[in-house]
Chain A
Amino acid sequence: MIPAAALRDAGLAALVALGLFAPLVGLRTDVSPTGGLFLRTRWADVAIVCGIVFLGRLVLSLWLGQRGLRPSTGPGPWTARLERAGAFVAPVLLGLAVVLPFIPGIGRYELDIGILVLTYVMLGWGLNIVVGLAGLLDLGYVAFYAIGAYSYALLAQYFGLSFWVCLPLAGILAAFWGVLLGFPVLRLRGDYLAIVTLAFGEIIRVVLINWVGLTGGPNGIGGIPRPSFFGLPFSMEGGPGTFAGFFGLEPSPTHRVIFLYYLILGLALLTNWVTIRLRRQPLGRAWEALREDEIACRALGINVTTTKLSAFALGAMFGGFAGAFFATRQAFVSPESFTFIESAIILAIVVLGGLGSQVGVAIAALVMIGGFELFRDLDEWRMLVFGGAMVAIMVLRPRGLVGTRTPTVALGKKRAISGDLVSEGHG
């Protein structure tokens, strides 16, 4: 027996659908053979659409009605399950990442995707310091990625410096720009900060496009030197001074790809390690406290200025490292690679992963970047699938995939605190 309330509810939904779809679907202008426009009506289609809405709504309300509400303050069953799985996920993912190049069937293409995913994992972890820990919404993170990439490209081009010299320099330069951006925006919070950082990202890109004399403008910089294995270049010739020659291997182009893969894996893990270490230090705790309540922080004698700047600088530094890696991998940089959409994707990774969660960010990067590649065959539908997946994640897990955080210090047993226990936006 279907309850009357559910029928009424479904009827109402169908009525709304009728109002919407009657003009949208029901009426269509077509070109008549004489060349003029004529109105074609498609009422049968409207009826079908309204019928689907009616049935869908009915099923939904019946299902929801049956499920009832569970009054509970504890984590939901899904959260608990994910938490239990979470304990295994991190080591399993790490193990997989380490042995990936040696798994049979993993070729050049898979490794390239792996490198791409790891680059975004690293960028996500870097941005997580700024957004997830310090709570400073940065919409222009790609600027630091760009600064890192161009730092390496320009230093290599003009001064002939090698990748290993440029990597720390790129990080330092990006951190310097992070501090430079940090100073004027320190008084801003939330929306205002977001707008200024967004503008900063665009300014960097526009400067890169227009400063043709230095950056080559839209043409970018090509011929960026590839990284060497601590001085041993990767070469197909296989002489004694090359990687293959030194280790007595058959020269193969895969060597460099595998090396790049391990390089970015190492850089990403360095980012993760630094973040985890810092979270247990007073500085990391101060970042989190700053995210929670700036005024209280000042009342406790925290120097808000330096705390914010350190978060900005450190996040920017890892962005710069990732940028230098990007440049050496591509051997070519142009402003096109550093558009706003990159910032948006990195931010989406951090938010979808659950702000502040390291494993969550890694999974989100895997899903977003890996998934994006997976659905390449869907062509223009890809964005639709992608958008749908993001909406679904936010509806089902509004506090991110891993919406819990483990206390940085605990007495006795460490207890994860469920994101379900706090209000929206506070997870």
Chain B
Amino acid sequence: MSAEQSPLLELDAVSAGYGPVQALSAVSIRVMPGEIVTLIGANGAGKSTLLMTICGDPKPRSGRVLLAGTDIAGLPTHAIMRQGLAQSPEGRRVFPRMTIRENLLMGAETLAEGGDRSAQLDQVFTLFPRLRERLAQRAGTLSGGEQQMLAIGRALMSRPRLLLLDEPSLGLAPLVVRQIFGAIRDLNGKTGLTVLLVEQNANLALRLAHRGYVLVNGRIAMEGTGAELLARPEVRDAYLGGGAPLPPPLPADGPNPA
């Protein structure tokens, strides 16, 4: 990434909250094109709020949210989601009584009417072959891991420039989590898709991401490359279970150098 490149997403001193609760205080982050950036932090640190604020729900109280240089902070959620953003929401939120195929097609709803969706469907199936086998099943009958794959696949259907992932590891077995993280890295490596990842699983997230931010009580406490943050003793104490040995690395090669 060259220095003169402008960020795809930039939050400039964004504050947000719900009612009297101030969840974010003057948060500034940048996501460069082609990067995987992760946001880690404890429960209630404001990670999901940050992601939701980018999507315009809640709206920022102050500060700017710039997508490729344009301020999107004031737009309604549905309009923001048409600017090349896609989100895989926390808790997956697939449509349980609709089929896998219908779920995926819902993801492409923001694209121009009528177009052919087979190219996007193929891309999703290459990434998650298991979804192809279950096209006509109801999404509610899928396992948690498959539902997560569906949620990510659904987000990819709109051909986003920036993919927002909210806790894709939530409630999933470690093996499935590694599969999904592997898929995210493949996607980033092959298509250069920019990813902003919010995670509780700081260890895996930092090893996947090029860069990371640590959010504490609604403020950015630390930032650095994934490897830097992993090495910081404060991070290891707070989010990686102290001196516990690191789990085995992700399959295949390590993260792409930022």
Contacts and interface: CB of A to CB of B under 8 A. Distances in A.
A254 to B, nearest CB: 46
Contact of A296 (B82, B93, B135): B93
A103 interface: no
Interface string A291-331: 01101111111111000000000000000000000000000
A293 B79 CA distance: 18
A255 interface: no
B158 to A, nearest CB: 7
A295 B52 CA distance: 11
Most buried by B among A298, A299, A421, A422: A299
Interface string A385-427: 0000000000000000000010111111111010001100011
Interface stretch (A15-23, A62-70, A280-288): A280-288
Contact of B96 (A285, A292, A411): A292
A289 interface: yes
B55 A296 contact: no
Contacts of B155: 299-300
B142 interface: no
Contact of B109 (A282, A405, A407, A408): A282
B101 A411 contact: yes
Contacts of A300: 81, 86, 106-107, 109-110, 154-155, 158
Contacts of B102: 285, 288-289, 407-409
Contacts of A297: 106
Interface in A247-263: none
Interface in B134-193: 135-138, 140-141, 154-155, 158
A299 B136 contact: no
A301 B110 contact: yes
Contacts, number: 105
Contact of B78 (A302, A413, A414): A302
A295 B95 CA distance: 11
B57 interface: yes
Most buried by B among A293, A304, A412, A426: A293
A422 B158 CA distance: 29
Contacts of A407: 98-99, 101-102, 136
Contacts of A288: 95, 97-98, 102
B77 interface: yes
Contacts of B106: 285-286, 289, 297, 300, 302
Contacts of A421: 138, 141
B27 interface: no
Given A300-B81, A301-B109, A408-B102, A289 B136 contact: no
B138 A417 contact: yes
A66 to B, nearest CB: 31
Interface in B93-128: 93-99, 101-102, 105-107, 109-110, 113
Interface string B58-97: 0000000000000000001111111000110100011111
Nearest to B110: A301
B153 to A, nearest CB: 12
Given A407-B101, A409-B101, A410-B101, A422 B113 contact: no
B226 to A, nearest CB: 26
Interface string A110-149: 0000000000000000000000000000000000000000
Contacts of B80: 301
Most buried by B among A304, A407, A412: A407
Nearest to B114: A282
Nearest to B88: A299
Contacts of B141: 421-422
A212 B28 CA distance: 63
A292 B109 CA distance: 16
Nearest to A288: B98
Contacts of B105: 282, 285, 409
Contacts of B135: 410-411
A301 B157 CA distance: 12
Contacts of B158: 300-301
Contacts of A427: 97
A181 B89 CA distance: 30
12 contacts: A282-B113, A285-B106, A288-B95, A289-B102, A292-B97, A299-B77, A299-B93, A301-B110, A303-B76, A405-B97, A409-B102, A410-B136
Given A296-B89, A298-B77, A301-B109, 18 more contacts: A282-B113, A289-B95, A292-B95, A292-B96, A292-B97, A298-B57, A299-B55, A299-B87, A300-B154, A300-B155, A302-B106, A407-B99, A409-B102, A411-B135, A411-B136, A422-B138, A426-B97, A426-B140
Those 4 A-B pairs whose CB atoms lie nearest each other, nearest first: A301-B81, A292-B95, A296-B93, A301-B110
